[in-house]
Amino acid sequence: MSDADYAAFLQKANKDHAGLSTNTASSSGEYISSKAHKAIRALGERFYSSDADEPFIDVAFSWSGDQLPDEAAFEKLITKSGEVTEVVTAQQWDATNSYGDVISAVKEAAGGGSEVTVYRVEEDDVRKIYYVLALDSTHKQLVGVKVLSIES
């Protein structure tokens, strides 16, 4: 395999599969973009523990609804990511309170009035993406973070 082929392979393997993310993070280790709400920026380099510890990355989706989307509607927002297999409350997702700071930051970023909900999206048998989101009805958007989980 040539160097160019290998570089193309690496670039494809490392691309962001949820193309709607507003994160403009660079490969220099910045995971939360400067455009994120200050509460989410305060998380810094926060990681999710799984078979491969991955960073939380800020996301925002335009959403004019008055409540969080159901599974089918959320799948339309993330057309390239995979299938939504589970929607749970933040407390169900984080039963041990390991990510209380993440949940609080998402709630604050949404203005504090919306409950935080977690969408589990399966890319394949081992790659899952968790979207930790709340509704910011003032700005008509869903705000929060996503994180890749490797579950073998």
9-44 pLDDT, tens per residue?
Answer: 666 555 544 444 444 343 434 467 888 899 999 999
CA quadruple 8, 10, 12, 18: dihedral, nearest 10: -150
Q: 65-92, pLDDT tens digit by residue?
A: 999 999 999 999 997 778 999 999 999 9
Predicted confidence at residue 33, as pLDDT, reads: 80
Mean pLDDT of 132-136: 97
Within 10 A of 77 (CB to CB), how many other CB atoms are there? Answer: 19
List the CATH number of the domain containing 54. Answer: 3.40.1460
Q: Which domain holds residue 137?
A: 3-150
Find out whether 60 and 142 touch, Cβ atoms under 8 Å. Answer: yes
Domains of the chain: total: 1
Alpha-carbon distances, residue 88 vs 4, 66, 82, 117, 136 (angstroms): 43, 18, 17, 6, 18
